[in-house]
Amino acid sequence: MIPVTGFNGQTVAVLGLGRSGLSAARALREGGAQALCWDDNPAARAAAEAEGFETRDLSAQGGFDGVARLVVSPGIPHLYPAPNPVIAAAWEAGVPVDNDIGLFFRSFGSGAWEMFDQPPKVVAVTGSNGKSTTSALIHHILQSAGRGSQLAGNIGRGVLDIEPPEEGGVVVLELSSYQTDLARALTPDVAVFTNLSPDHLDRHGGLGGYFAAKRRLFAEGGPDRCVIGVDEAEGRYLANQLAEGAVDDRLIRVSAARKLSGPGWDVFARKGFLTEWRKGRQVASIDLRQVRGLPGAHNHQNACAAYAAARALGVAPRVIEAAFHSFEGLPHRSQIVADAGGVVYVNDSKATNVDAALKALQAFPRIRWICGGLMKEGGLEALAPGFDHVAKAYVIGREAAGFALGLAGVEAEVCTDMDTAVARAMADAEPGETVLLAPAAASFDQYDNFEQRGDDFAARVKARLAG
């Protein structure tokens, strides 16, 4: 645990008692503060009380009396589409609002570091798509290189649940826009921006607010090194703002769409090969085509970002290459769940938006595509560049019929439920094809989360193969 510093003897309120909220309450108590907890869910309040925490309805009159700070869990809106009433009450009471990420960065360093020859470092990864895979891949590379590494944030453990790092240790954080938007302290050593596509727009008042939340990690965080994906205009804008000139090697530009050139530090993937250029010359090259755990151009972008972050930490190219080949991927993100009869079964349930699903479609040559769910804003037209890879679509979800109508030019069968979709796709699949779950939609119409949806797909595939 990372004890929260700076609030010894003070009362700090915690709103939202899920994983990050309870973790923050424990870390506050460990640091000498009194954690005052609230959640609208009575079961969550009971769980906090069972650990000895006091609960108080913070929206009630006088709810913030004696409170020094409010710590908010990431799922709670603080501005758009409307401020949560408790957050609005904190504003009125003049109580500063923060989150567990802000507490982590203000408390991460310790007096023991004075004895370290190599102080610990933090690598923070943000972006729309690929940040989980990129974060996990950086962590895997560091472990393969013999570097002490912990993975936390939006993936793995809560940031305050990790162990205090030892000398030379690295903490790899995946940070969502919800987390970067509200944190009052952001001080990573290396910060990574993967890409940007429309998502969570209601929480940020539009695309500009969404990008601004991501940008805070760099503009306010002041990292020593920045790894920036430049395949979108926002990434190119961010890279331009951060660099003091063309040869500023505090910035590493990353692309999976084109060759990068110039006197700076670049990492790019073209035709399946990752290449590192620095000061106008090639430093290293890696063939990604046979890296089973990183299929497709979107994963090649993840590989480039992770490679660049590892290089910024001093890891050698050949060590990184070996780690690529031992990386098995993450559950629900281009995860191979079975390979039978010449047909590969891939679970990409995390592809909850159109951009992520398109990247999944473009990663495989001929696909039996299971898709559908709770549709997001913007329609499905942007998926069209991947349709020539689709032999047939098998549509699930309560809106399956409407979803199928949006797949112009694709043969689509309305299956509604996962069991029917898996059965039909497996019956039709031929050797050399891929049965791919890449929903391009949220899961909440039929499942609690995308993980449950992906687990259902994997279980039904394995059951039919076993039977």
Annotated binding site for ATP: 127-133
CA distance 258 to 140: 26
Q: In this structure, is the dihedral angle defined by the CA atoms of residues 125, 131, 137 and 140, taken in order, positive or negative?
A: positive
Residue 362's SS3 state is: coil
Structure-block tokens of residue 339: 């390979």
Q: Identify whether the C-beta of residue 19 lies closer than 8 Å to the C-beta of residue 75.
A: no
Binding-site annotation: residue ranges: 127-133
Buried b (16+ CB within 10 A) or exposed e, 333-366: bbbebbeeeebbbbbbbbbbbbbbbbbbbbbbee
Cα–Cα distances in angstroms (integers) from residue 120 to residues 143, 171, 314, in the given order: 15, 8, 14
- Which amino acid is located at 131 in the chain? K
Give me the numbers of helices (H) and strands (E) for the chain, helices first please: 15, 20
DSSP track, 383-405: GGGGGGGEEEEEEESTTHHHHHH
Place of tokens 């190219």: 317
Structure-block tokens of residue 120: 């610990």
Structure-block tokens of residue 332: 């629900």
| Secondary structure, 3-state, 213-270 | HHHHHHHCCCCCEEEEECCCHHHHHHHHHHCCCCCCCCEEEEECCCCCCCCCEEEEEE
Buried b (16+ CB within 10 A) or exposed e, 270-280: eeeebbbbbee
Closest Cα partner for 291 from 305, 302, 278, 276? Answer: 302
- Residue 181: φ, ψ to 5°: -65, -35
Q: Identify whether the C-beta of residue 171 lies closer than 8 Å to the C-beta of residue 207.
A: no
Residue 358's SS3 state is: helix
Q: Identify whether the C-beta of residue 268 lies closer than 8 Å to the C-beta of residue 304.
A: yes
